[in-house]
Amino acid sequence: MTEQKHLTHDTGAPPGAPGEAPVLEIDGLGVRLPDGQAARPILDGVGLRVAPGETVGLVGESGSGKSVACRSVLGLLPPGALTTGQVRVAGRDVLTMSRAELTALRARQVAMVFQDPRASVNPLRRVGDFLTEGLRAAGTSAAAATARAEELLDAVGIRDPRGALRRRPHQFSGGMLQRVVIAAALAAEPALLVADEPTTALDVTTQAEIIAILTRLRAERGTGLLFVTHDLELAAAICDRVYVMYAGRIVETRRTDELFDRPRHPYTAGLLTCAPRIERDAPPPRPIPGRPVSLAEAPSGCAFAARCAHALPRCTEEPPVPARYGDGLTACHRADEGITL
């Protein structure tokens, strides 16, 4: 029951936005599967905050729990999962919402863009159906929804929006389809957009276009964005702040520039040095040894200790608690010593 310890702690709120109420506040979120299905919680004491108009990155390897964390914002949890803590959108806890409240939340306040556009859109329905469906769920009339869908397709740079509405998903490329998905997500003018690896399934050239569209529209509309990715470089390029997640816990969070210049957690440092660089004098990439912690393992102490070059005996005994260093938080017993990249 280690998550109880972190129930209330500082979530590393942005210093630049003092009085403004955040669109998303996650406090001490714990998610665990029913007994016997996993040795450790999927999420343990996760805290996260997104201010209006802010872009926040959530970075981690596959299996770190980042997808579960971002889905919990919409009240989408693994079947049978038990939760602790709170996930507040505009001040209201998503985890205690009724079915009808959840539907309204998803239709109006929070929208999500998923990884694979091909899998996100019903292949048997027209693109227009996909776009207007969300609007209709939010209570817009059919005619208004169609008009709005056209505007949105135009905004994401799809030519002949009217014709596109009548086409089927298989007639679009992956990149074009992801534009449709983004358009649909923005349709109801949500206060918060959650993007779960929105470019991972796309070609490299398409990725850049999608990122450009996403950041432009977000800025135009002042939407808060929670950007989930395994790519720290990508997160750094577009995010104001970044949360780094490992084995279901937030291990570090800080402003993007500081995170790159002065990472405090060895895992963050490891993610930075394992990415290959183009600069001539850059050091060769150094992979992080070992592999991520599976749900069947429940290491005592710091989950990263087994792969950490700086681990002390204490690290495997006592889990580190996030504490403030610089402008952000780090959960590491040796965070105060600093790391040289």
Chain contacts with other proteins (rule: CB under 8 A) = 71, 74, 76, 99, 102-108, 111-112, 114, 116, 119-125, 129, 133-134, 137-138, 168, 170-171, 184-185, 188
Q: Which residue lies nearer to other proteins by CB, 38 or 135?
A: 135
Report d(CA 81, CA 261) in Å as an integer. 38
Residue 160 to residues 140, 152, 156, 171: CA-CA distances in angstroms? 23, 12, 12, 14
Question: Cβ 30 to other proteins, closest distance in Å?
Answer: 22
Q: Is 228 helix (H, G, I), strand (E, B) or coil?
A: strand
Report d(CA 327, CA 210) in Å as an integer. 30
Question: Cβ 104 to other proteins, closest distance in Å?
Answer: 7
Q: Which residue lies nearer to other proteins by CB, 101 or 160?
A: 101
| Burial of 102 per CB tally in 10 Å (0-12, 13-18, 19+) | middle
| Burial of 34 per CB tally in 10 Å (0-12, 13-18, 19+) | exposed
CB 65, CB 295: distance < 8 Å? no
Question: Cβ 17 to other proteins, closest distance in Å?
Answer: 27
Question: Cβ 313 to other proteins, closest distance in Å?
Answer: 42
Nearest to 133, CA basis, from 158, 152, 157: 152
Q: Which residue lies nearer to other proteins by CB, 26 or 339?
A: 26
Q: Which residue lies nearer to other proteins by CB, 111 or 308?
A: 111
Q: Which residue lies nearer to other proteins by CB, 26 or 193?
A: 193
Question: Cβ 137 to other proteins, closest distance in Å?
Answer: 5
